[in-house]
Copies of this chain bind each other. A is one copy, B any other.
Amino acid sequence: MESSFAIIAEPNRRSILSLLASSECSVGELERQLRMPQTSVSKHLRVLRDAGFVEARVEAQRRVYRLRPEPLMEVDAWLTPFRRFWTAHVDALERHLDQMDLPPKKGKKR
């Protein structure tokens, strides 16, 4: 359970994170929107919290969870060396489109 990658390997956890990307949620709200048992939501939230993906604030009986950016930034950073593999493709696609489309005003520095 150590790496951030293992954490987001779980589909339900990714769903939780996606919901929290829109707005912070209580456990009950997550439970209803994802239609999964509360005990499951709580356990996944525990994992996410231990890994630093989310943090909770106590509000009366509720716990309101919100996102923390660091672990996903780490994933994003890991992707960096790979991006050149598809930016190359995008460039090729751009060149191709330039032949049929209007010349774009955006920066094409070469």
Size class of the contact patch on chain A: 20 to 34
Q: Closest B-chain residue to A98, C-beta based?
A: B87
> Does A33 touch B at the CB level, under 8 Å?
no
A interface majority secondary structure = helix
Q: Which of A9-29 contact B (CB under 8 A)?
A: 9, 11, 14, 17-18, 21-22
Task: State how many copies of this chain the complex holds.
Answer: 2
Interface residues of A (CB under 8 A from B): 3, 5-6, 8-9, 11, 14, 17-18, 21-22, 67, 69, 72-73, 75-76, 78-87, 89, 95, 98-100, 103, 109
Other A-B contacts than A5-B9, A81-B109, 20 sampled, CB-CB below 8 A, are A3-B9, A5-B5, A18-B81, A21-B82, A21-B85, A22-B81, A67-B82, A67-B85, A69-B82, A69-B89, A72-B85, A73-B86, A75-B75, A75-B79, A76-B95, A80-B95, A83-B99, A84-B100, A87-B98, A87-B100
